[in-house]
Amino acid sequence: MQDKENTPIDENTESTQSVKETDIKAENAENSAETTDLESKVNELNDKYLRLYSEFDNYRRRTIKEKSDIIKTAAEDVFKAILPIIDDFERAIKANENAEDVNGIKEGVQLIYNKLKNTTQQKGLTAFESIGEIFNPDTMEAITHIPATDETQKGKVVNETEKGYKLGDKVIRYAKVIIAN
């Protein structure tokens, strides 16, 4: 009899285990589906990341190449503008070999100088005045100091040994000056 009493309990236990196994299988299936979804999302995001990284790397390489090309050809425009002036100097040198008129030589050199000055100004190069100005270390380089003849000269530039030049707003050569103290 005990076997009969145990039998219904065993059947209940078996059905409970069967339900639990079914639930576990369902959960495993859900987990498996979620895992598959997560794995596909991870793969998709990883692919997007790799594509973005490659795209950025290509962009970086392209900009580096463009910058180097710009740097290589930046002076080309200036040199093209200066070449006719070099030609003028060469013609002047040939003409001066047999020239006896000093005034003609002076005139020719002055014309070439004016042409060079105008060309550089068109490209943005400008000389700035410093004589009589208060010393400015941002645009000037003091070579020496001399005693001031009066109080109004103190701290001002009294002589300039080399002109200063700006390209646009940037100083490309500081004026070398003598300052009164």
pLDDT at 13: 59
> Beta strands 170-173 and 175-180: pairing type?
unpaired
- Reported for 84-87, long-range contacts at CB under 8 A and 24+ positions apart, including other chains, are 84/115, 85/112, 85/115, 85/116, 85/119
- C-beta separation of 135 from 175 below 8 A: no
Q: Is 79 helix (H, G, I), strand (E, B) or coil?
A: helix
Provide the whole-model pTM. Answer: 0.59
- C-beta separation of 142 from 159 below 8 A: no
pLDDT in tens, the chain (181 residues): 445 444 455 555 566 666 677 777 777 777 777 888 899 999 999 999 999 999 999 999 999 999 988 888 878 888 898 999 999 999 999 988 888 888 988 999 999 999 999 999 998 999 999 999 999 999 999 999 999 888 888 999 999 999 999 998 999 999 999 999 9
Of 124, 136, 119, residue with least CA distance to 172? 124
Residue whose entry in the numeric block shows the structure tokens 């943005």: 124
Q: How far apart are CA 37 and CA 141, in angstroms?
A: 70
